């Protein structure tokens, strides 16, 4: 039985993969904040076999504490996997920086095309998608606070250089311009680059940041959830979370979406602004079809894309690279 130390402050992560390991009967210690005492408790007392670090987890912590965590886990020969959840957009600024700081034994990345880049650095590497946690991403009663025809949960871009820009212009722009009953939650939308993106966001649509713990309520309350995608060969965490909640997901037909899901069966894809308007008009009027697709999507992610499955993938990956 492998004992797992999971280092992350964000609920987006702590409500995900740790639950998957627990369902495999692996003892889990979630380390949210670093101090000398918390590191001692997590490493010296808990004595993990595996440590998983994610994303920008080192941010907000004193470097001396991060270094102490790395030093102590190395002392006890704890296997360390870095989960590169910011690839490919922030590979250099985030993932490579974390490798430099953490010195992990191996890397798993959400971006298929990035695997070889880590192998070129001499690190064992594999691909690991986000997933859903059925204990959290599940049906719950709708909440009037989040009762909109269309909702988007996700951060606005900074430079808008990724596929995310295309997603916004296909999915969001036409609905904003036609005045749909739409709400947007997330960071940076109040600094939206109207000139670059070619449209304005009405202030009444901007709802500000949303605690992760509230996201499932949105997915169960709004009729249609817009799912932006960042790249052709990776899927955002919200893709799995919206489907896991039983929400109706409208996204774009990227390579990764098409590889894992069937359009108009598990979710619905739009390929143009005009298509988006037609789809939203149609599915707002056809609730039974909308709900049937949402139910199919939920069944699919519960069957194949839970964090229990992701935890299993990590354990198999460990066995493979240790043999090699």
Contacts of 146 (CB under 8 A, 6+ apart): 183, 217, 218, 220, 221, 222
Assess whether 154 and 103 both reside in one domain: no
23 lies in the same domain as 120: yes
State whether 148 and 262 are in the same domain: yes
Q: Name the average pLDDT for the chain.
A: 96
Please say whether the beta carbons of 23 and 47 come within 8 A.
no
In the chain, the number of structural domains is 2
> Structural domain of residue 93, as residue ranges?
4-129+306-323
What local confidence, expressed as pLDDT, does residue 320 receive? Answer: 79
The CATH number of residue 219's host domain is 3.40.50.2000
Q: Are residues 297 and 310 in the same domain?
A: no
Both 161 and 282 in one domain: the answer is yes
CB of 4 within 8 A of CB of 21?
yes
Q: What is the pLDDT of residue 324?
A: 60
**CB of 87 closer than 8 Å to CB of 109:** yes
- Which tens digit of pLDDT belongs to each residue from 75-119? 999 999 999 999 999 999 999 999 999 999 999 999 999 999 999
Task: Indicate whether 192 and 87 sit together in one domain.
Answer: no
> Is the pLDDT assigned to residue 121 strictly greater than 80?
yes
How many angstroms separate the CA atoms of 18 and 136, rounded?
Answer: 12
Structure confidence at residue 2 as a pLDDT band (50, 70, 90): very high
Tell whether 29 is covered by a domain: yes
Residues paired with 6 in a beta bridge: 30, 52
pLDDT tens sequence across 290-314: 999 999 999 999 999 999 999 999 9
Beta bridge pairs of residue 206: 184
E strand intervals along 139-269:
150-153, 182-185, 224-226, 249-251, 268-269
Residues 178 and 296 in one domain: yes
As a whole number of angstroms, the distance between CA 297 and CA 243 comes to 5
**pTM score of the predicted model:** 0.96
CA distance 202 to 73: 49
pLDDT at 58 over 90: no
| Position 258 pLDDT exceeds 80 | yes
Q: With H, G, I as helix, E, B as strand and everything else as coil, classify residue 206.
A: strand
300 and 314 part of one domain? no
Considering the domain architecture, whether residues 81 and 197 belong to the same structural domain is answered as no
Reported as a single tens digit per residue, the pLDDT across 264-273 is 999 999 999 9
Rounded Cα distance between 267 and 264, Å, is 5
Q: 269 — alpha (psi -120 to 50), left (phi > 0) or beta?
A: beta
210 with 254, same domain: the answer is: yes
Assess whether pLDDT exceeds 80 at residue 243: yes
Do both 291 and 318 map to the same domain?
Answer: no
Confidence category of residue 160, pLDDT binned at 50, 70, 90: confident
Question: Quick one: which of 176, 154, 139, 163 has its CA closest to 12?
Answer: 154
């Amino acid at each position: 039985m492998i004992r797992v130390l999971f280092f992350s402050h964000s609920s987006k992560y702590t409500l995900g993969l740790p639950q998957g390991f627990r369902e495999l009967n692996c003892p889990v210690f979630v380390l949210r904040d670093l101090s000398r005492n918390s590191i001692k408790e997590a490493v010296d007392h808990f004595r993990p076999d595996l440590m998983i670090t994610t994303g920008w987890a080192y941010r907000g912590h004193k470097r001396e504490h991060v270094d102490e965590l790395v030093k102590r886990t190395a002392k006890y020969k704890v296997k360390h996997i870095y989960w590169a959840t910011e690839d490919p957009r922030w590979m250099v600024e985030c993932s490579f920086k974390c490798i430099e700081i953490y010195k992990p034994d191996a890397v798993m990345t959400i971006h298929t095309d990035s695997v070889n880049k880590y192998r070129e650095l001499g690190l064992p590497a594999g691909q690991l998608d986000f997933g859903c946690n059925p204990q959290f991403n599940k049906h719950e009663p709708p909440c009037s606070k989040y009762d909109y025809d269309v909702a988007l949960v996700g951060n606005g871009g900074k430079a808008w250089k990724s596929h995310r820009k295309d997603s916004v212009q296909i999915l969001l722009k036409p609905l904003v311009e036609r005045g749909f009953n739409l709400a947007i939650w997330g960071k940076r939308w109040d600094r939206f680059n109207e000139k670059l993106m070619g449209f304005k966001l009405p202030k009444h649509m901007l709802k500000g940041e949303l605690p992760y713990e509230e996201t499932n309520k949105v997915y169960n309350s709004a009729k249609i959830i817009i799912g932006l995608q960042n790249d052709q060969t990776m899927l955002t965490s919200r893709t799995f979370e919206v489907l896991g909640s039983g929400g109706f997901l409208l996204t774009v037909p990227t390579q990764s979406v098409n590889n894992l899901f069937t359009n108009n069966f598990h979710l619905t894809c739009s390929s143009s602004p005009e298509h988006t308007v037609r789809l939203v008009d149609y599915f707002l009027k056809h609730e039974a079809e909308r709900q049937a697709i949402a139910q199919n999507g939920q069944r699919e992610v519960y069957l194949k894309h839970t964090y229990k499955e992701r935890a299993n993938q990590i354990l198999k990956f460990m066995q493979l690279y240790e043999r090699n």
